[in-house]
A and B are shown apart, each in its own frame.
Chain A
């Protein structure tokens, strides 16, 4: 029965469902986990990289971009970072769109775009693909971690249907249910950034398939305020991730490491 309504994104099934949207969400539940935790003095974002091969050339990740490998965590504007789960190509397109939206706001109003407004811009686009004909929706969920003067630090989640919601701590992607119940148990109000970082790493190490964490499997970022109270995004470099993991005693043991130089 579902078949008849599968190929049309804009047609309701007799049960009142939009199958393509549900399939898009299904695609996301197989993607690498992304975790976000809101602290009182910052936000933490971590993401699991699913596909890694020994032959994949990651040398660009060490120098280029804003510090990350540019696979899961991106800088959208000087006050917003995002973690994506789903189809990478779709995510790249959305990241590009939101960067443009943020710059347009800066051009019009000479201020950083408020975080919720940026989420709305993207959700308006995503919603369009659930209504207008013949096209496939974006197979991407995003976590936005941002700061603005109106509501300080904020964490939002948006899905392929164009729904968005604000969170204190949440996760998307594979095992997001497990991660979320762990976060629910361990999250405390007025958590500090330091505690949030260790919480994120702990939850991440429990939900990921591999037993030990390493920079080749993990992306990590924080958003804080600098001395002048301006938002400061930090997307960790692979070496920084490894030293952070060592600090929290979650890193690989030395003897496991292959191809030591």
Chain B
């Protein structure tokens, strides 16, 4: 095999999460009471436009969660048998190969051809002169630097044409697929879509899809030749870093809730259902946990993890492994601080359900407690879980940045928006200002969080019974 798959803990969990989401989708599609609120969400143009953006992020995150080690060429290493590179790559790394490998010396501005900082260069006649050296990769195909503006214009136009063609193809396919009545032409469907008269808000979705396609095409056309968002201190392409950070942000936002969900669900429902001693113990546990300021609990947890990893350095020799353990621990610790709120909500809801006639009837008929909880209570509190998961997501993505900034976030060597902002702190003090790393982190994070907030609002409005009119 030319490569050897590497399955990191977080990879396994994110694909498990994907499977759970798909299973839920299938389940929800078969049950009218779940299909109804989702139909509400589907009719909301803003939420569906946000969903397109979210899906784009998720696809990038999933591509970045397929890890492997490439086989090294036997003739180069001089060792018999197959050996694999110690470097763990992901599918996304391969897709973004020019971005990943075009590493310059140090800072360079977006679309620059020359380095940002002057360097002492030795002239052929022996004298030294301070000049801005030409970048190694940016604009390597240009004959003279003066061609840059024309080249950028040509490539942008190319990106625009390509994306327009792809987008038109998608629009056409959807219009064709949406032909409902026999005899209605795809053109008529398209006209309805354009006027926003379709049940599913295709106009909003296709508009946001168009923007996504345009950005991807621009990155593909311009990214190979220029550093669209500049390079950072070690010459790494900032755009690539921001793209790689998507996985970290998504994982923190989703895994955190997933990791502690079973505890919150089981304990909340048990406390509400059994009451008495069980309730006392569970209430004690979550009151204790929630009384610790969450930042301090995270700090204490990460601090002892750091110490453990420092003392057991040999078990974490692989950098990808170390980053992975740190990320997963951060998710678990963040989960410990956030599950108490959900547990409290579930306990309250279960107490309300417990007094309902259908539960009382089940108890009177002698149905076992476990069966009542799994069959009658849990399905009826799931909307609370769902609302909680989607509402927590954006807060967690933002929390990652803050935690990485104060030094208790993800591994400092890992790509994350928090680490990018942290690195940009010093850059803002420079003159002239190095603004692009900060801008990139801001753009990527803001888009994800805004899309998540808009989508979460729609989900909450559709599922929260109090919001229904």
- A and B physically associate: no
